[in-house]
Structure 1
């Protein structure tokens, strides 16, 4: 449980459901202890203190950019001398979604799962105060992060609506990659629009209100896209950012608007990239068959036409790593063990 009226607030005073979890141990704190902050991608803007877009009040420290370089929350597992696999969550989610994948990969690989800017424990700058959450910014930010955590070639695993961002990055950095593994990525024209559960966050005024609601922003968004019956302990971790800071909701609102505006073009670009005859990165599509957001129609044809491997997971939904973590870990390990180049 969490305490809405806790005597000591862990929030920034803006979140509509502010407060903190009970004083006892909780899964969110335990997860945080496993990770560290990586500094990557310079903060833009003038350095002015962020203000909330509704009342114009200066926001708390949790809603401000961290100095000159952004902080990314990252959890690493396995020997750093082994080949590196970077696990990239989708929209909306967190690195926590890979908690069942990390132990499997750590046996033979150096696995890294991180929170995107705007999610989890990573920095969540107010839009227009150093980061605007456009997809092109995310491409550049990812490049900075990868360069910071890995000097040799890496394999990338990315889920859902952030797949086009990673594909764009990969197209510019093929020499840096061994494998690209896409988990339920948007690949067809039918995938080019956000589902209503996510697009609602981009609506004027209503989106700003709903994005501050922890149950809508985390629980409903995660459980409406697949066969999920999430445990309360896990739901608490996803809910935590929206309980403790209004910055999480403002970031969600900004990302939703950017996705609504740019997703179609990025999906088209992804198709072109992955079907290009000059594409050299070994690519696999893993598809959770019980995805309620993205239709499986045309996915099989796309993989055949582009000569990319397709692996179906019958019991998984949109967030494959959340629903079938151990199974996915084994699949990833098998795929990238075929050939490793450093």
Structure 2
């Protein structure tokens, strides 16, 4: 599918309405064929002349925001991060076509909970020359592409590095469940495949962290020909790993989950800092909190994702173990393990790597979110793995 570039910094020259429920963008119709290249591209458009919303950091809350929506009159780290990125449209929206309503009161949700009428919008960050081999950095649950902010500059010297926000996180679409996306793990597998097809045309290396590892491995099992390397950062590998920690499973609880998922401090700060030595700086916390401060859609998405993880994770972990140990698995696979992980025990990890004949690299000072604790070091590790300079 052909598509056209629009860097997000140019969006401010379009129809951004700060006083409206969110930021409106009207798309110009293309006037000539568009040539596809390897760099990230975006066409912000709909199938009709109607405007649709994009959830930019200056958007006002939808009534379910603890922070009342826009929380600063000055530029914030969240704004700066947003300006560096692009929106890529991928994966068809298959909802009813109706406007989303909140699951508690049945009220019409704000712009952040509404999907576009054709394809989902994914927030992506790229660094390095698109002529180089592409490395896609995939965040875990719950997190954002922002977690790779220290890794991207290191990889960009040799590679075309791309990080993105999963649907339901960060600046990507966060539709209300049953209005285009239900946040099941099967949906994440298929939507990830759609995104990969938009981002790259050649072979790619994938780096994925934490609880989204089984999703990526399931995709990779059917697309091994597209992968050069797979690097897993503290993935759930054992039967004990298939249970969500209390800091995450709380979001799946009836009623209590709905309440806690709307609390920015619990949904971002506590969830990210309870799993290892990571000490969150205030500037970084502002980026992670922003989705929960500007719209209730992030909390409802988190609630839905937690329920899916709690229900499906065990099956997905077992399937990932089977795939990675299968004799037909041909992708060069490396497992990096932050030894200070408070969520996933190291017990059984070394044994699994030996039996599956996959490389194991240990990072003694990192926790579950390896890229947060040792970003620059992880970038060098990934460089070494991809250039085959790392020996076990």
TM-score range, shorter chain: over 0.9
* 1:327 corresponds to: 377
* 1:106 corresponds to: 156
* 1:270 corresponds to: 320
* 1:259 corresponds to: 309
Instruction: Measure how far apart 1:248 and its partner are.
Output: 0.1
Partner secondary structure for residue 330 of structure 1: helix
Partner secondary structure for residue 156 of structure 1: strand
Correspondence for 1:15 among 65, 89, 106: 65
* 2:176 corresponds to: 126
Q: Where do 5+ consecutive residues of structure 1 fail to align?
A: 1-7
**Structure 1 pair 97/9, CA: closer, same or farther in 2 (3 Å)?**
closer
Counterpart CA distance in 1 for 2:278 and 2:372 is 9
1:222 maps to 2:288: no
RMSD (CA atoms): 1.0
1:87 maps to 2:137: yes
| Larger proportion of helix | 1
Partner secondary structure for residue 21 of structure 1: coil
Instruction: Measure how far apart 1:9 and its partner are.
Output: 6.5
* Partner deviation per Cα, 1:60-98 (whole Å, 9 max, x = no partner): 112100221000000000000000000000000000000
TM-score normalised to structure 1 length: 0.96
TM-score normalised to structure 2 length: 0.84
Correspondence for 2:234 among 175, 180, 184: 184
**Structure 1 pair 111/125, CA: closer, same or farther in 2 (3 Å)?**
same
* 1:285 corresponds to: 335
Counterpart CA distance in 2 for 1:310 and 1:119 is 29
Correspondence for 1:303 among 343, 347, 353: 353
* 1:169 corresponds to: 219
Instruction: Measure how far apart 1:12 and its partner are.
Output: 1.7
Q: Give the structure, 1 or 2, with the largest relative contact order (CA under 8 Å, sep 6 or more).
A: 1
* 1:65 corresponds to: 115
Counterpart CA distance in 1 for 2:69 and 2:177 is 24
Name the count of aligned residue pairs.
Answer: 332
C-alpha contact 1:184 1:288 (8 A) present in aligned 2 = yes
Superposed counterparts of 1:182-261, under 5 Å: 182-261=232-311
Structure with bigger gyration radius: 2
* Partner deviation per Cα, 1:105-160 (whole Å, 9 max, x = no partner): 00000000000000000000000000000000000000000000000000000000
C-alpha contact 1:36 1:73 (8 A) present in aligned 2 = yes
Superposed counterparts of 1:308-319, under 5 Å: 308-319=358-369
Correspondence for 2:126 among 62, 76, 82: 76
C-alpha contact 1:17 1:213 (8 A) present in aligned 2 = no
* Partner deviation per Cα, 1:214-256 (whole Å, 9 max, x = no partner): 0000000000000121100001100000000000000000000
Counterpart CA distance in 2 for 1:78 and 1:329 is 13
1:150 maps to 2:214: no
Counterpart CA distance in 2 for 1:143 and 1:206 is 33
Counterpart CA distance in 1 for 2:115 and 2:175 is 5
* 2:103 corresponds to: 53
* 2:165 corresponds to: 115
Instruction: Measure how far apart 1:180 and its partner are.
Output: 0.4
Instruction: Measure how far apart 1:46 and its partner are.
Output: 1.6
* Partner deviation per Cα, 1:277-327 (whole Å, 9 max, x = no partner): 000000000000000000000100100100000000000000000110000
C-alpha contact 1:95 1:114 (8 A) present in aligned 2 = yes
